[in-house]
A and B are shown apart, each in its own frame.
Chain A
Amino acid sequence: MNAIEVEHLRRVYRAQIGVFNRSIKEVVAVDDISFEVQQGELFGLLGPNGAGKTTTVKMLTTLLIPSLGFSRVAGFDVVKQANEVRKRIGFIFGGERGLYWRLSGDDNLRYFASLYGVEPEVSKKRIPYLMEMVGLKGRGNERVGGYSRGMKQRLHVARTLLHDPDILFLDEPTIGLDPVGAREFRNVILDLQAQKKTILLTTHYMFEADALSDRIAIINKGLVIALDTPSGLKKHVSDLSVVEVETFGASEAVIEKLRALPFVDALSVEDREQKQMLLIQTERGAEAVPDVMAALDGQRVGRVIVREPTLEDAYIRLVEGAS
């Protein structure tokens, strides 16, 4: 049985604009999305900012009504049987919000346990267990306002596990965490995966999606543009190599000139303080380097590396191709 079923889901936001001449502006956040998640699967949802990931998660967690389409979570309709869905899911939206900062960590959990309908005798045992599981043992009496960002994120995980749900929605749970915190968080997700929880994870971090997900859907502009296992997605770029070129102050015109080269399949730029890393996908591999250097004539260039493509490269090719 599928834990999550999504059929042609669409969500349009309407915003009123203007003071005197009022008009309604419509923004299509999710255009037409369909996918299924099997029980016990860790399903990744990847996409650029504004692709519709969070909107999709909010519809599946009953917090938004879809404009069109149909979705079932744990076998229940997310609109007509919202309360049945709520009993069986847990959700985290990335960031520090969503907790009571003036209450202690333990009180936050006691409060949410009560709202989840957990019996007091059960929550008395479960709260210390969860605090230990997320690495907050001994910190439960402190006010949440004094917690670090990572501690708050971990408290969110404890909160969402209070009623032992079968299905978890984790929307960018590692956003803003330092590398150590993010790694610890990924270990918590792996623990949950080992417990056979169904997890829908949205993230910007490709290595995270690659390491954790059984399958990944890439969405762009509210549409699913690819859905496969991480290794299946990488096959989209198996014919390519990636030339990484470190530049210092390359202008937009130079980048466009590179992008227009006939052998360049896709090009993305990562800004790293004063330098830029140009990631050029090409079928020609190392043979493309002289032409790339010629196009960069007059620019200050640092390291140049030719490597095998990763999931991130597959993602870039798919998103750029769809755009």
Chain B
Amino acid sequence: MNYGNLFKYWRTVLVVAEMSIRTELNDGFVLFAIVFQPMIIAILALFMLREKGADFAMFVVVGSGLTGLWSSLLFVSGNSINTERWTGTLESLVGMPTPFDVIVFGKNLANVFQSLLSMVVSYLLAAFFFGYSLSLTQPLLFFVTLLLSMFAFICFGLTIAPVFVMYRSIQQWQNAMEFPVYILCGFLFPIAMLPGWSTPISYLLPPYWAAIALHGTSTAMMPFGQIAFAWGMMLIFSLVDLVIASQLFKIMLYKARVDATLDVD
């Protein structure tokens, strides 16, 4: 995406996000992805770690929230492109003067924003169902990290969306993309538990840096230098993702117009 477009079309981004939330909150699948699935993951993890104390409970709350963020981005954003294709609105969106990546940015913003609900649900579960007394160790830094993480997730999602535009059958691969990111990014347990060869892959995934910083500011007194480093990595990856997404959108939209895949006919 052209960075300038984010400023030029900020009002459009907000309208797209608003309309996406209004549309998707009526959808049972969306509620499953952002509420029930993270809730199930949180319950399982809290049971398994119930001897470990409140710090681990907070780790699970943040981790299951991150699973909700990723699942929402992968499934809801991806499916929404396919749904738009089936309902005939994808052609209308591509045929608009607003760049299509701006529209997808707005949709991703909506999905990431509404998926924060999964963190809230996990928190309520841990606090009221399991009786943990939960508090954030560095609340201000946590909220700054959360905002940067949302931006990083949105940008990461932008690199995936063009593939959904191009390939109608991509949904078959969504499940295969869900759990590897949970594991490689250390959402629910540290990546130190994984084999050494997988660590460089984790470093290349923006959600990993989001997980590091969110866990570090919620359950531990992570030194500010390390937090700032994670922020920097998220920003760098976000900007790189925007550039990659911009090129991918150009290529995939052109190819979709050549191959006639914007509609189901």
Contact = CB atoms under 8 A, between A and B. Distances in A.
B96 A98 contact: no
| Max count, chain B CB within 10 A of own CB: residue among A58, A110, A115, A120 | A115
Nearest to B24: A102
Interface residues of B, number: 26
B88 A114 contact: no
B12 A114 contact: yes
A86 B12 contact: no
B254 interface: yes
Given A13-B260, A63-B257, A99-B89, A86 B96 contact: yes
The B interface is mostly helix, strand or loop, or mixed, namely helix
B172 interface: no
A97 interface: yes
Interface string A93-130: 10101111111000100111011110010000000000
A91 interface: yes
A103 B25 CA distance: 11
A117 B103 CA distance: 12
A264 B12 CA distance: 61
B79 to A, nearest CB: 14
Contacts of B176: none
A260 interface: no
A96 to B, nearest CB: 8
Interface stretch (B14-22, B54-62, B63-71, B189-197): B14-22
Nearest to A123: B15
A95 B88 contact: yes
Contacts of A112: 92, 96
A64 B16 contact: no
Interface in B1-44: 11-12, 15-16, 19, 22-23, 26
A114 B11 contact: yes
Interface string B100-120: 000100000000000000000
Given A95-B88, A103-B23, A107-B19, A117 B260 contact: no
Contact of B88 (A87, A93, A103): A93
B65 to A, nearest CB: 26
A65 B87 contact: no
B24 to A, nearest CB: 9
Contact of B87 (A87, A101, A111, A116): A101
Contacts of B260: 13, 64
Interface of A: 13-14, 58, 61-65, 83, 86-87, 91, 93, 95, 97-103, 107, 110-112, 114-117, 120, 159
Given A62-B257, A64-B258, A115-B103, 16 more contacts: A63-B95, A86-B95, A87-B97, A91-B95, A97-B88, A97-B89, A98-B88, A99-B89, A100-B87, A110-B15, A112-B96, A115-B12, A115-B16, A116-B98, A117-B98, A159-B92
20 contacts: A13-B260, A58-B91, A63-B91, A65-B254, A65-B257, A87-B97, A97-B87, A97-B88, A97-B89, A100-B23, A100-B89, A102-B23, A103-B23, A110-B15, A112-B92, A114-B15, A115-B93, A115-B97, A116-B96, A117-B98
Enumerate the 9 nearest inter-chain pairs by beta-carbon distance, A residue then B residue, closest first.
A97-B88, A114-B15, A98-B88, A115-B96, A87-B97, A115-B98, A65-B257, A86-B97, A111-B19
